[in-house]
DNA sequence: GTGAAAGCGCTAACAA
DNA sequence: TTGTTAGCGCTTTCAC
C-alpha cells in the first residue's frame, strides 16, 4: 500500500520537485541560509517532513569536504580512565555539531598507527589518547596536516598539540605526603612499561630521592587483578608504604592486604592514582591523586575544534592534579614489618 | 621543496595518471579485484605509496551507498556498564571492516530520539543500548528499515531485534540465595525508574514473594554515591539483607556500612548486580550477578552485521546471567538488628 | 584485462 | 531571491 518503491531514498531533488522549488533552494533551507522567501521556505520545510526526507551524510561530506566527525583513539576502551574523557569529548563534539568515532588499539603500537590512519580518513580531526606508537609514526601523522591532538604523551621537538596531565607533580605530591608522614622508603607497583604516564611517575619517584625517600619497584600493571597479584611481593620486600600505579592497582592490593590480614594504613600505607570514584568508597578510603579526566577530554575537544576552524596551535597544555589525602595512608608503625 | 601544492589531496585520478593506468584500474587494485594484470597492479600499488594516496572516505561512502560505520547510542558514556559492550562491539566492527560512532544521550529520552536519527544518517546500522525513549519513537525508528538492534529493552509487538539480559532470572537467583540462607525479607535499593533493567529486578522481587521472601524498596540510583547515601535508610528499616540495584550501589552501601561499624555479612547481607571487576576486590567480596556485557556487545554487533548483509531478523535473543556467591552474604544473625 | 563514462546526493559558485 | 550547473572523489556498469 504505502510502500511504493523499495531501495531508493528520497533525495533533495525529490523534495525540490514536490515543493516546486529548485534544488539549491531546498539546500538553502536545509542549511539555514535566510535569503529564502519565508513562504517558500515554509513550503519546502513542510515537504521535507511529508516526504520524510533526510540528507545523505556521505553526499554532504563529499560536497562540503568535511565529515563532521572527530576521531578518538584510545589504548583500551574498557579502561575507565578514558570514559570520562570520551564523555567530555563527546559533549564538546556535539556542541559543535559533530560526531565522535572511537577506536580501540588494544594497547598495540602497530595497530595504533593503522587505526590512526583510518581515523584520519574518516574524520575532520583526531585525538590520540596516550599513544604508545613510536615517535617516528607520531611525527609522520603530525606532518599530515590533519587536525590532531595528543594527550599524555610528550614528544620533544615535534610540532604537535599535546595536552598532558602533570603526573610528575602528582607523584611528587604522593611522595612528599608519605615522606612527611615519616616514611623513608616506598615500594612502587609500576604500570604499563610503554606508557608515558608510568615514566613520569618513575621520574617523580627518582626526584623524591633528593628528599631522602628511596623506592623499589615491582612490575605490576594497571588493573585491580595485577595489584592483587603483586601485593604479596610488596610485603616480601618489607614495605611500609606501597605506591600503586593507579587506583585499580591500589584497590586490588588493598583487597589482598585485607585477605592477608595486613591492616591499612596501620601496618602499611597505600596510595592510588587517578582519583576514580571507587577510590573514595574503599575501606579505608584511598589516598590518591585526582586527575581531571573530564577536563582533559574537554580541552582536547576544544583544541581540536579550534584546529578544524583553521587555528594551527602547537602549544602544549598542562593539566594540574590534586593530592587527595584519605584514610589509606598514615605514619609508619614503630617496627616489626608485616611479613617477610 | 617537497611541498608542491597545498590544499588539494591526491585523488585516485592522480594515481591513475602517474601510474599510466585508468581510474577504474586503480579502483580495482584498491578494492582487491584480481582481474588486474599482476605487473600493472604492482605498478599502481607502488604509485599509491609514492604519492601517499589515501582514498576519500566520503566519496567511497557516497559511491558505495554505505558508510562502513556502526552507530551506538548509550544513555551514559561514563557508565562502566557500557564500556565492555562498547569494546566488544568495536571489536566486531573492526573485524568486519567497520568503524564505530558513539553517542551519549545523557539519559534524556528526547535527545535519544534526535541522536538516533542523526546516527542513522551516518551509519549502516545502529545499536541502541537500554533506550529510554517512548515506545512510539522506537517503533518509528524500527520501521525505517535501517539495520537496528536494541539491548535491554523489551517492547512487545514490535518488529525489532532485541538482545536482552535475563535480569529477571538474575534477581530471582539473588532472592533464592538469600532465602535459602534463611532471610525472610530484603530491602531493595532501586535503580533508575525509567529503565527496563530496574523493572525486571522488581518483577523478580515480586515473584520471590511466592517463596515467602518479602521486600521493601528504597529509591536509590545507580551510583556508588547513591548507595552510600541510601544505606542508612536501609538500616533504619531494620534490614538484615540489602539487595542493591547494581555493584556500584552495593559498593557505596558497603562503604557506608563499614563507616557505621555495621559488619557485612555478619550483621547484614549485601548483594550487587552486574559483576563488575571491582566487586571481587571489595571487602568482603561482593555476592553479585555476573552479566556478560562483553557477550552482549558482541551479539549485538554480530546481529547488526548480519542485518547489514541483508538478513532481516527480529528474533529476540536472551543472554543468561550467573549468580556469583561471595563473602558479602550469609545467614541472618539470631536477632538484634544493627540499628533502628 | 582495461578504460570510458554515468552516476552517487549534495554544496556552492555563478547567473539570472 | 531563485535557479542552473559544475564539481566533490569514487564505484561500477558497459564496451572494447
For residue range B179-234, list pLDDT tens digits in order.
999 999 999 999 998 889 999 999 999 999 999 999 999 999 999 999 999 999 99
Question: What pLDDT is stored for residue A5 in this prediction?
Answer: 41
Please tell me the predicted confidence (pLDDT) of residue B2: 33
pLDDT at A156 > cutoff 90: no
| End-to-end CA separation in angstroms for chain A | 82
| pLDDT of the residue at B221 | 94
Give yes or no for B81 touching A (CB within 8 A): no
Q: Which residue is nearest to nucleotide D8 (CA to C1')?
A: A63
pLDDT of residue A7: 62
How is residue A115 written as a grid cell? 587505526
> Quick one: cell of A198?
608510568
For B70, the closest chain A residue by CA position comes to: A101
Which of A312, A317, A311 is closest to A295 using CA atoms?
A: A317
Across the interface, whether the CB atoms of A99 and B101 are under 8 A apart is answered yes
Under a CB-based contact definition with an 8 Å cutoff, are residues A99 and A128 in contact?
no
Question: What average pLDDT does the segment A280-289 reach?
Answer: 96
Q: How far apart are CA B60 and CA A56, in angstroms?
A: 13
Residues whose CB falls within 8 Å of the CB of residue A53, separated by 6 or more in sequence, listed in order: A10, A11, A12, A14, A15, A47
Dihedral sign of CA atoms A24, A29, A31, A36 in order: positive
Distance CA A131, CA A150 (A): 7
For chains A and B, CB pairs below 8 A equal: 131
Q: What is the per-residue burial (b if ≥16 Cβ within 10 Å, else e) of B243-274?
A: bbbbbbbbbbbbbbbbeeebebbebbbbbbbb
Residue B63: CB less than 7 A from any atom in strand D: yes
* Nearest 10 degrees: Cα torsion B25, B30, B33, B39: 60
Closest CA to B247 of B258, B235, B255: B255
- What digits encode the pLDDT tens for the residues B74-131? 999 988 889 999 999 999 999 999 999 999 999 898 999 999 999 999 999 999 999 9
pLDDT tops 50 at residue A239: yes
Contact status, residue B81 vs residue B296, Cβ threshold 8 Å: no
At A328 the pLDDT is 98
Between CA B24 and C1' D4 the distance (Å) reads 30
Query: How high is the pLDDT of residue A4?
Result: 37
The whole model's pTM is what? 0.92
What is the sign of the dihedral through the CA atoms of B260, B266, B271 and B272? positive
pLDDT at A2: 33
Where does chain A have alpha helices with state H? 12-19, 23-30, 38-51, 57-64, 81-95, 109-122, 135-142, 167-181, 196-208, 224-236, 247-259, 277-280, 293-308
Q: Residue B157 has what pLDDT?
A: 85
- The nucleotide whose C1' lies nearest the CA of B16 is C3
β-bridge mates for residue A306, sequence order:
none
Euclidean distance between CA atoms A125 and B190, whole angstroms: 41
**What residues contact residue A332 under an 8 Å CB cut-off, 6+ apart?**
A181, A182, A183, A240, A241, A269
Contacting residues for A336 by C-beta, under 8 A, at least 6 apart: none
Query: Can you tell me the mean pLDDT for A60-66?
Result: 97
Quote the pLDDT of residue B86.
96
Q: Give the nearest chain B residue to A66 (CA atoms).
A: B58
Amino acid at each position: 500500500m504505502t510502500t511504493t518503491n523499495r531501495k531508493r531514498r528520497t533525495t533533495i531533488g525529490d523534495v525540490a520537485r514536490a515543493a516546486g522549488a529548485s534544488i539549491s533552494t531546498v539546500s538553502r533551507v536545509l542549511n539555514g541560509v535566510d535569503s529564502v522567501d519565508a513562504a517558500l521556505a515554509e513550503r519546502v520545510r513542510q515537504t521535507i517532513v511529508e516526504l520524510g526526507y533526510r540528507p545523505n551524510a556521505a553526499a554532504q561530506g563529499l560536497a562540503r569536504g568535511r565529515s563532521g566527525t572527530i576521531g578518538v583513539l584510545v589504548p583500551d576502551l574498557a579502561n575507565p580512565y578514558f570514559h570520562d574523557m570520551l564523555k567530555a569529548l563527546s559533549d564538546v563534539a556535539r556542541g559543535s555539531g559533530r560526531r565522535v568515532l572511537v577506536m580501540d588499539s588494544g594497547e598495540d603500537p602497530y595497530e595504533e598507527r593503522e587505526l590512526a590512519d583510518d581515523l584520519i580518513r574518516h574524520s575532520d580531526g583526531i585525538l590520540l589518547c596516550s599513544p604508545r606508537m613510536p615517535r617516528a609514526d607520531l611525527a609522520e601523522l603530525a606532518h599530515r596536516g590533519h587536525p590532531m591532538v595528543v594527550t599524555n604523551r610528550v614528544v620533544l621537538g615535534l610540532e604537535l598539540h599535546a595536552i598532558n596531565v602533570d603526573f610528575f607533580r602528582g607523584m611528587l605530591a604522593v611522595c612528599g605526603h608519605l615522606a612527611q608522614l615519616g616514611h623513608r622508603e616506598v615500594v612502587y607497583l609500576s604500570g604499563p612499561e610503554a606508557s608515558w604516564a608510568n615514566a613520569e611517575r618513575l621520574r617523580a619517584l627518582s626526584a623524591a630521592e633528593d628528599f631522602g625517600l628511596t623506592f623499589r619497584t615491582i612490575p605490576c600493571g594497571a588493573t585491580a587483578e595485577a595489584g592483587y597479584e603483586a601485593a604479596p611481593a610488596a610485603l616480601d620486600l618489607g614495605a611500609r608504604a606501597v605506591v600503586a600505579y593507579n587506583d585499580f592497582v591500589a584497590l586490588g592490593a588493598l583487597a589482598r592486604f585485607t585477605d592477608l590480614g595486613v591492616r591499612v594504613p596501620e601496618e602499611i600505607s597505600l596510595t592510588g592514582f587517578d582519583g576514580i570514584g571507587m577510590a573514595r568508597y574503599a575501606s579505608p578510603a584511598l589516598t590518591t591523586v585526582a586527575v581531571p579526566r573530564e577536563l582533559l577530554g574537554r580541552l582536547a575537544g576544544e583544541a581540536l575544534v579550534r584546529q578544524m576552524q583553521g587555528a594551527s596551535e602547537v602549544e602544549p597544555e598542562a593539566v594540574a592534579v590534586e593530592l587527595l589525602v584519605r584514610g589509606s595512608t598514615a605514619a609508619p608503625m614503630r617496627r616489626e614489618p608485616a611479613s617477610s
